[in-house]
Amino acid sequence: MTKHRLLAIGLGLGILAGSAFAQTKQPDWSGIEEETMQHFQALLRFDTSDPPGHEAPAAEYLKQVLEREGIAVETLAMDARRPNVVARIKGSGRKRPLLIMAHTDVVNVDPKKWRFPPFSATRDGGYVYARGAVDDKDNLAACLMVMLLLKRLNLPLDRDVIFLAESGEEGSVEYGIAYMVEKHFPKIEAEYALAEGGSVTRKGGKTLFASVQTTEKIPRPLRLVARGPAGHGSVPLRTNAIVHLSQAVAKVAAWQTPLRMNDTTRTYFERLATLSSPEDAARYNGILNPEKAAAIQEYFAEHEPRHYSMLRTSVSPNMIQGGYRINVIPSEVEARLDVRAFPGEDMDRLIDEMQRVINDPAVEIVPREGSRRPPAPPSAIDNEAFRVLEATVRKHYGVVTLPTMSTGATDMSYLRDKGIQCYGIGPLIDFEDGQLGFGAHSDQERILESALHQFVRFHWDAVVALAAAR
């Protein structure tokens, strides 16, 4: 496609997105906030801690709410205790479907750490407290409300809107996204998908930017196995496997893997620079400058480890095992490396390089066998979907959108691998709230009520701009 044509489409979309906001009949938001809160609290009160998951009651709730509204819905399950819920509102078929999805399971809790019981969904001081409040029952409630409103307003659509409430996102994908993609892909096949993985960041009371996740790193764990002769601890050996493993771990940890960038991360740092202090901006703009790169990398490794990881395939030694009694030199010991591959990384080459870095024939690198997350390509940041999200962010939050590569994995990798362009979105979160221990997977979890309602309106506008008939 030529630049001119791209520009023409961009301008056209801008106008269309603008008119879509203006013309579409808007729901009566005041009444909807109460209904949103009711569904949100109901969903938070199901204990869907994974493991064991047990998402069935939450799935049944969703099914009933959708059916009551007259929306076609079905549950699909590999295990009856862990169903996935799929619903569809039909469009004219002029465009391919839009999938909106969220997961029903949550990570485990330590109830002692909670001021309010973790499945009470207590409202206090403008917040709702519960496990799942920002991961991912906020998205779940928003997707549900969008479906109900689409049906109620009977909005003519150019494409089907598909709702997916998936189980097992927190570590048991075989029940959720992997099962859906392998066994029921036609039921969720879409051009675009909106899911978790983004947010709007506010710091010191000022809304700074929105993150829309467009790609993610791929977990590729490795084991380091060191071997040597066993022996009596009273006679130290140069071949001691623990010594060899320790040295290998130290070398691997100090190794700076090659710097990598893609469209998402390049744009992320460019746009972040425009929002940053002059010193920070100089670093974000200087990443590829050969004279400054080394010092900038060093700074990131020390002070901005997430940015350091976003620029490469990362290696973190997180488990080490070896030895069973004080007077025995063990013959085999191992360490586990959490390796997160940059999209497109050639892992065979990386392992060869790691072997050279370790430079010790006593240490073997062993890749994990069995099921692996697909190495999905990044989603586009110059298409209709991303531009609609940018425009909708600007309308609701008045800030710039940063396309983001998450260092952690999400279920979107399975969909991107099948050709769906996926975008991770999320509500406004105060930066300080994470530090206070109220973020996703933290000791406690909470969301601002106002942020939830704003997110529902944002979600609605994004879906309408992408799917409403023109």
Q: Select 445 or 461, whichever has its Cβ closest to Zn ion.
A: 445
Tell me the C-alpha distance between 71 and 91, whole Å.
Answer: 13
Taking the complex as a whole, the smallest distance from the CB of residue 445 to Zn ion amounts, in Å, to 11
Given the rule CB under 5 A, which of 130-138, 319-327, 338-346, 371-379 is the region that contacts Zn ion?
130-138
Taking the complex as a whole, the smallest distance from the CB of residue 197 to Zn ion amounts, in Å, to 8
Q: Select 135 or 384, whichever has its Cβ closest to Zn ion.
A: 135
Taking the complex as a whole, the smallest distance from the CB of residue 102 to Zn ion amounts, in Å, to 8
Given the rule CB under 5 A, which of 136-144, 235-243, 387-395, 423-431 is the region that contacts Zn ion?
136-144
Own/partner pairs, 251-254, CB within 8 angstroms, 24+ separation? 251/357, 251/358, 251/359, 252/224, 252/315, 252/317, 252/337, 252/354, 252/357, 252/358, 253/315, 253/316, 253/317
- Token pair recorded at residue 373: 């997350």
Q: Select 175 or 284, whichever has its Cβ closest to Zn ion.
A: 175
Taking the complex as a whole, the smallest distance from the CB of residue 75 to Zn ion amounts, in Å, to 20
Q: Within 13 Å of residue 263, how many CA atoms lie on the same side as its CB?
A: 11
Q: Select 200 or 465, whichever has its Cβ closest to Zn ion.
A: 200
Backbone angles phi, psi at 367, to 5 degrees: -70, 155
Q: Select 10 or 437, whichever has its Cβ closest to Zn ion.
A: 437
Subset of residues 182 to 201 that bind Zn ion, contact rule: CB under 5 A: 196
Exactly one of 50, 55, 136, 166 binds Zn ion (CB under 5 A); that residue is 136
Q: Are 45 and 141 contacting, i.e. CB atoms less than 8 angstroms apart?
A: no
Taking the complex as a whole, the smallest distance from the CB of residue 85 to Zn ion amounts, in Å, to 16
135 binds Zn ion (CB under 5 A): yes
411 binds Zn ion (CB under 5 A): no
Tell me the C-alpha distance between 224 and 50, whole Å.
Answer: 29
Region of 147 please: left (phi>0), alpha (psi -120 to 50) or beta.
alpha
Backbone angles phi, psi at 19, to 5 degrees: -70, -30
Given the rule CB under 5 A, which of 132-140, 219-227, 246-254, 427-435 is the region that contacts Zn ion?
132-140
Which residues 6+ apart lie within 8 Å of 21 measured at CB? 395, 461, 464, 465
Taking the complex as a whole, the smallest distance from the CB of residue 14 to Zn ion amounts, in Å, to 32
Q: In this structure, how many other beta carbons lie within 10 angstroms of the beta carbon of residue 165?
A: 31
Q: Would you tell me the crossing angle of helices 449-467 and 29-44 to the nearest 10 degrees?
A: 110
Q: Select 196 or 384, whichever has its Cβ closest to Zn ion.
A: 196
Taking the complex as a whole, the smallest distance from the CB of residue 105 to Zn ion amounts, in Å, to 8
Q: Select 140 or 399, whichever has its Cβ closest to Zn ion.
A: 140
Backbone angles phi, psi at 240, to 5 degrees: -50, 120
* Number of residues forming the site for Zn ion (CB under 5 A): 3
Where along the sequence are the contacts to Zn ion (CB under 5 A)?
135-136, 196
